[in-house]
Structure 1
Amino acid sequence: MADTWTLHLLHTNDLHSHFEKMPQIATCLKTSRQLWEAQQEHVLTVDIGDHMDRMDVRSEASFGKANVQVMNRCGYQYATIGNNEGITLPKEKLDEMYEQADFTVIVGNLLDKASSAPPQWAVPYAIHTLGELRVALLGMTIPFSTYQSLGWEILDPLPLIREQVAALRSSADILILLSHLGYQTDCRIAAEVEGLDVILGGHTHHTLPHGERVGNTLIAQTGRFGEHVGHIRLVWDRDGKQIADVSAELFDTASYAPDEALRVFLQKEKAAADASLFQPIAELEQDLHVNWTEETPFGSFLAASIRRWTKAEVGIANGGLLLSDLHQGRLTFAQLLESVPHPINACAVTLTGEQLASVLEQAIQPQIVHRELRGCGFRGKIEGWMAVDGLRIRYEESGQPHILAIEVNGQPLIREREYRVGTVDMFIYNRLFPDLLQGREIEFFHPEMLREVIASTITDRTLVQSAFLPRWEKVSPESSGHAIE
């Protein structure tokens, strides 16, 4: 019988600060490691990014440091970053996040823009030695253009992967890619880059119960929110210097008892976060209610806040971004976080009047208002009614809804004129409104998220009160006249 070594890879991805799952994950990781190491087998525990999500108070209050402490206590050895670590934190906060990490962060396609060097808290790759077995680990994160405006340089991962694999193949027995690039990209990499043995993936939340083979590469991904822990079993033939067997499976996190010490730690972290984020930031004189299918003062205030933040002539934002009411009286940042948990930023774009009218016309169609949205940082359910500021719009709803007249800051909209429009970056990324993408001079406003924008404007009583003035006027068919030309 051949002389073999067995390596177990335990991997997670896209936990998105679902801390309620982490004590069970901790038990899974620890008990599995104890079992296999008792059998003289080897274990590596890795995370593939988006462990952090600022929608949870512990991540928000600590800027992700609570997540790092959890990973330390779970025994992670390596991790790469996802977009939720990379582009929802200001650069200085990301630079600080991993200061106390007991694990190695690997990300090969991120550089500090000022120095063109890798960040101090990460390495471009690592080689882990287990006796005579050498395991090379690469890490890549999805190259969103947002990184550029945050002070980072983000690189196309594919050429780097080719380069690293070519350089490391002769000095490592096994090559593993920690990929927060998404399932489709992982499949492309596996097909085009010879020499990768395993791709541990994330970002697209695919659940691959037994992994997928593409050429000679096994691709694995565990879904999302900590519902599963992935397990790769690799058998190394020491005589033949090759992988004799490799398989993938998923462990159901719910089948493990919670780690009591981690559960208590998380309770303390939540209490500390609550104490920090429940400090009052404003006093509201009236309730601001949420309604996804009609105009509301809260929606209008969001649009007005974005308009002011971006110094635009017009503000537009979908009402589905608002998830819970803000009530009269003391307002805390924690309440804003609950209502507006998205890692979404403001942006501005220059549109012609014709393009702006087209966006608004599309926005009032029922299939758009009720459209379910996923991805691009959106944490809600549906698109919702389009909230606006700087506009007065008359529309008719009988049959197919259509707009009759638009005023911009008290003047009739001129189709040939250009207008500066403040909105949300989600619309640029999800391509829901094609006319927005045809605009000029798209500018992103980082790093502040929408809730931070609102926190800066909610103390302006005049702005709040003006949001109670209607912007949309629904008219009956008999009084409507003709639609705008």
Structure 2
Amino acid sequence: MADTCTLHLLHTNDLHSHFATMPRIATCLRTCREEWERSGDCVLTVDIGDHMDRMDIKSEATYGKTNVGVMNRSGYQYATIGNNEGITLTKEKLDQLYEEAMFTVITTNLHDAASCTQPQWAVPYTIHEFADLRVALLGVTIPFVSSYRSMGWEIAEPLPVIQAQVAALRSQADVIVLLSHLGYQTDCWVAQEVDGLDVILGAHTHHTLLHGEHIAGTLVAQTGRFGEYVGHVKLGWDRDAKRLASVSAELFATKDYPEDEQLRSFIEKEQEAAQKKLFHPFTNLEHDLQVGWSEETAFGSFLAASIRKWTGAEIGLANGGLLLADLHRGGLSFGDLLQSIPHPISACAVTLTGEQLMSMLEQSIQPEMVHRELRGYGFRGKVEGWMAVDGLYIRYIAGEHPHILEIEVNGKPLVADQEYRVGTVDMFMYNRLFPDLLQGTHIQFFLPETLREVIARTVTDQALLQNAFLPRWEPVPSP
């Protein structure tokens, strides 16, 4: 018998419903597994979350069940969830997501808020036993505490949970692997703080680590995003010394593998079914709603008005870059809304002083902010765009250095020390684009509905639509 047992970990992360790469990933997972198992090696296949993204029509139409079907057909054995699974699905839909999963979901830091118990579709850890190797797997996801709590979940800070779990499992396992949807920076911190953790397979921040990074005795690995790569971690276990003799990481380019034809056919059928389900008109528009990122538009004003109505606020704010495609006069389907507003972003409300509101709006109209490229926190567009408003009338000096002259709030002058309830988008609470917003109080998240689901409810309000065509911003030429 050889002195060394070899374990291969094949891992993916942040596919975000990029289904075009998945048939190639399936081939990679299958061919590698077959080759290594013929040689007597041990193999595990895992996904580290955000496999699903509701911006894709198939994921939206099935609330992620198409993704689970793909994972089943690809041969995954274990997975943890990302924020796209955890907080863009209702609690009911997340409870149903993995009903037909042929793999084990691991969530070490997530619990049902009402019962304080583990979700019925997941385990807090598992120990995978090979003939002469025991591999413990944990799974943690990023703790967006307020958002999870709004959905009926409790999400724990990961470090104490990981430390306790690793300490408990160290005597029961030869190798401990963490499936981490926390992000690269946090993974590096965890590696330094937790003794006895052998491998962290990471996600969330879309880092491409060609050969991983060795930090304080722990290998940190991540594969980028969208399925461009499949990660491979190779571990050599010394049977006699009872320790890891070697640890290495590499990435396999997905484009180098042929498509799995059966999986491709499954995805095509799911696409056809989703088209039939979502592109069925539910109302009619009397006027076009057009996108415009660098100027005020009726579409933007309608989004701001819809958020204001949804949150019951005095004021509505939404950046125009959230709108990606025009809505045309005539029949309107939910598929049209998905194409126009694909983001897994929801409404929220916050209380600001007049001074804070003025400062935020002043910042929002600066050219560098209007044209600023945005990434992450659910945003699926390109730039910030012009700030759409409702409940406000603003006179401002236009030009290269714009400046606000005066603001009316529902017909009355803005008062600097008065408090106002503002409805806006939850993305702003995470991306820190507007510091004044973060200084606000009484923050409330309106989950689980996404912005497109809000629009689907408000678009039949003819008065709201008609008022959206009235200007809110009045440019005044520079003196």
Range class of TM-score, shorter chain: over 0.9
- Residue identity opposite 1:227 in structure 2: E
Shift of 1:97: 0.1
Give the Cα–Cα distance (whole angstroms) in 2 for the partners of residues 417 and 161 of structure 1.
Answer: 45
| Corresponding residue number in structure 1 for 2:274 | 273
Give the Cα–Cα distance (whole angstroms) in 2 for the partners of residues 362 and 216 of structure 1.
Answer: 45
| Corresponding residue number in structure 1 for 2:444 | 443
CA shift digits 1:296-316 (9 cap, x unpaired): 000000000000000111101
* Other structure's SS at 1:32 match: helix
| Corresponding residue number in structure 2 for 1:42 | 42
CA shift digits 1:162-219 (9 cap, x unpaired): 1111111111001100000111111111111111111100011000000100021111
| Corresponding residue number in structure 1 for 2:131 | 131
Shift of 1:353: 1.3
CA shift digits 1:214-235 (9 cap, x unpaired): 0211110000000000001111
| Corresponding residue number in structure 2 for 1:357 | 358
| Corresponding residue number in structure 1 for 2:431 | 430
Give the Cα–Cα distance (whole angstroms) in 1 for the partners of residues 143 and 434 of structure 2.
Answer: 23
Deviates more, 1:428-437 or 1:331-340: 428-437
Give the Cα–Cα distance (whole angstroms) in 2 for the partners of residues 186 and 293 of structure 1.
Answer: 38
Shift of 1:477: 2.7
> Does the 8 Å contact 1:349/1:422 carry over to 2?
yes
Map 1:84-99; keep pairs closer than 5 Å. Answer: 84-99=84-99
| Corresponding residue number in structure 2 for 1:481 | none
| Corresponding residue number in structure 2 for 1:184 | 185
Shift of 1:121: 0.4
* Other structure's SS at 2:464 match: helix
- Residue identity opposite 1:204 in structure 2: T
Give the Cα–Cα distance (whole angstroms) in 2 for the partners of residues 395 and 102 of structure 1.
Answer: 58
Instruction: Kindly report structure 1 stretches of 4+ aligned residues shifted beyond 4 Å.
Output: none
| Corresponding residue number in structure 1 for 2:348 | 347
Give the Cα–Cα distance (whole angstroms) in 2 for the partners of residues 171 and 260 of structure 1.
Answer: 41
Shift of 1:2: 5.5
| Corresponding residue number in structure 2 for 1:312 | 313
- Residue identity opposite 1:40 in structure 2: G
CA shift digits 1:41-66 (9 cap, x unpaired): 11100000000000001111111111
Shift of 1:399: 4.6
Structure 2: which 5+ residue stretches go unaligned?
A: none
Give the Cα–Cα distance (whole angstroms) in 2 for the partners of residues 448 and 103 of structure 1.
Answer: 28
- Residue identity opposite 2:168 in structure 1: A
Give the Cα–Cα distance (whole angstroms) in 2 for the partners of residues 345 and 178 of structure 1.
Answer: 27
Percent sequence identity over aligned pairs: 71
> Does the 8 Å contact 1:307/1:389 carry over to 2?
yes
Shift of 1:132: 2.0
* Other structure's SS at 1:31 match: helix
- Residue identity opposite 1:343 in structure 2: P
- Residue identity opposite 1:88 in structure 2: T
Structure 1: which 5+ residue stretches go unaligned?
A: 479-485
Map 1:130-279; keep pairs closer than 5 Å. Answer: 130-145=130-145, 146-279=147-280
* Other structure's SS at 2:241 match: coil
Shift of 1:476: 1.5
CA shift digits 1:64-115 (9 cap, x unpaired): 1111110000000000000000011000000000010000000100000111
Matched, 1:77 2:77: yes
CA shift digits 1:291-346 (9 cap, x unpaired): 10000000000000000000111101000000111111111101100110111110
Give the Cα–Cα distance (whole angstroms) in 2 for the partners of residues 355 and 9 of structure 1.
Answer: 50
* Other structure's SS at 1:140 match: strand
| Corresponding residue number in structure 2 for 1:31 | 31
Give the Cα–Cα distance (whole angstroms) in 2 for the partners of residues 353 and 46 of structure 1.
Answer: 50
- Residue identity opposite 2:88 in structure 1: T
> Does the 8 Å contact 2:207/2:222 carry over to 1?
yes
Report the TM-score, using the length of structure 2 for normalisation.
0.99
* Other structure's SS at 2:463 match: helix
* Other structure's SS at 1:336 match: helix
> Does the 8 Å contact 1:10/1:44 carry over to 2?
yes
* Other structure's SS at 2:282 match: strand
Give the Cα–Cα distance (whole angstroms) in 1 for the partners of residues 341 and 377 of structure 2.
Answer: 14
Deviates more, 1:220-229 or 1:238-247: 238-247
* Other structure's SS at 1:89 match: coil
- Residue identity opposite 1:225 in structure 2: F
Shift of 1:156: 0.8
| Corresponding residue number in structure 2 for 1:66 | 66
Give the Cα–Cα distance (whole angstroms) in 2 for the partners of residues 455 and 349 of structure 1.
Answer: 23
Give the Cα–Cα distance (whole angstroms) in 2 for the partners of residues 269 and 400 of structure 1.
Answer: 50
| Corresponding residue number in structure 1 for 2:421 | 420
Map 1:11-30; keep pairs closer than 5 Å. Answer: 11-30=11-30
Deviates more, 1:464-473 or 1:222-231: 464-473
Shift of 1:245: 1.1
Give the Cα–Cα distance (whole angstroms) in 2 for the partners of residues 349 and 215 of structure 1.
Answer: 42
- Residue identity opposite 1:354 in structure 2: E
Give the Cα–Cα distance (whole angstroms) in 2 for the partners of residues 357 and 219 of structure 1.
Answer: 44
Give the Cα–Cα distance (whole angstroms) in 2 for the partners of residues 73 and 31 of structure 1.
Answer: 14
| Corresponding residue number in structure 2 for 1:368 | 369
Matched, 1:299 2:304: no
Give the Cα–Cα distance (whole angstroms) in 1 for the partners of residues 24 and 232 of structure 2.
Answer: 15
| Corresponding residue number in structure 1 for 2:379 | 378
Matched, 1:101 2:101: yes
Matched, 1:54 2:51: no
Deviates more, 1:197-206 or 1:429-438: 429-438
CA shift digits 1:368-422 (9 cap, x unpaired): 1011111111111110000001111111124521011111111111222211111
> Does the 8 Å contact 1:2/1:237 carry over to 2?
no
Give the Cα–Cα distance (whole angstroms) in 2 for the partners of residues 454 and 266 of structure 1.
Answer: 29
> Does the 8 Å contact 1:77/1:104 carry over to 2?
yes
| Corresponding residue number in structure 2 for 1:455 | 456
- Residue identity opposite 1:104 in structure 2: T
* Other structure's SS at 2:465 match: helix
* Other structure's SS at 1:468 match: coil
Deviates more, 1:171-180 or 1:277-286: 277-286
Matched, 1:332 2:333: yes
> Does the 8 Å contact 2:367/2:400 carry over to 1?
no
Task: Tell me: CA distance 1:476–1:449, structure 2 relative to 1, closer, same or farther (3 Å).
Answer: same
CA shift digits 1:119-171 (9 cap, x unpaired): 00000000000002100001111111210111001101101111111111111
Cα RMSD after superposing both structures? 1.0
Map 1:3-14; keep pairs closer than 5 Å. Answer: 3-14=3-14
Deviates more, 1:352-361 or 1:318-327: 352-361
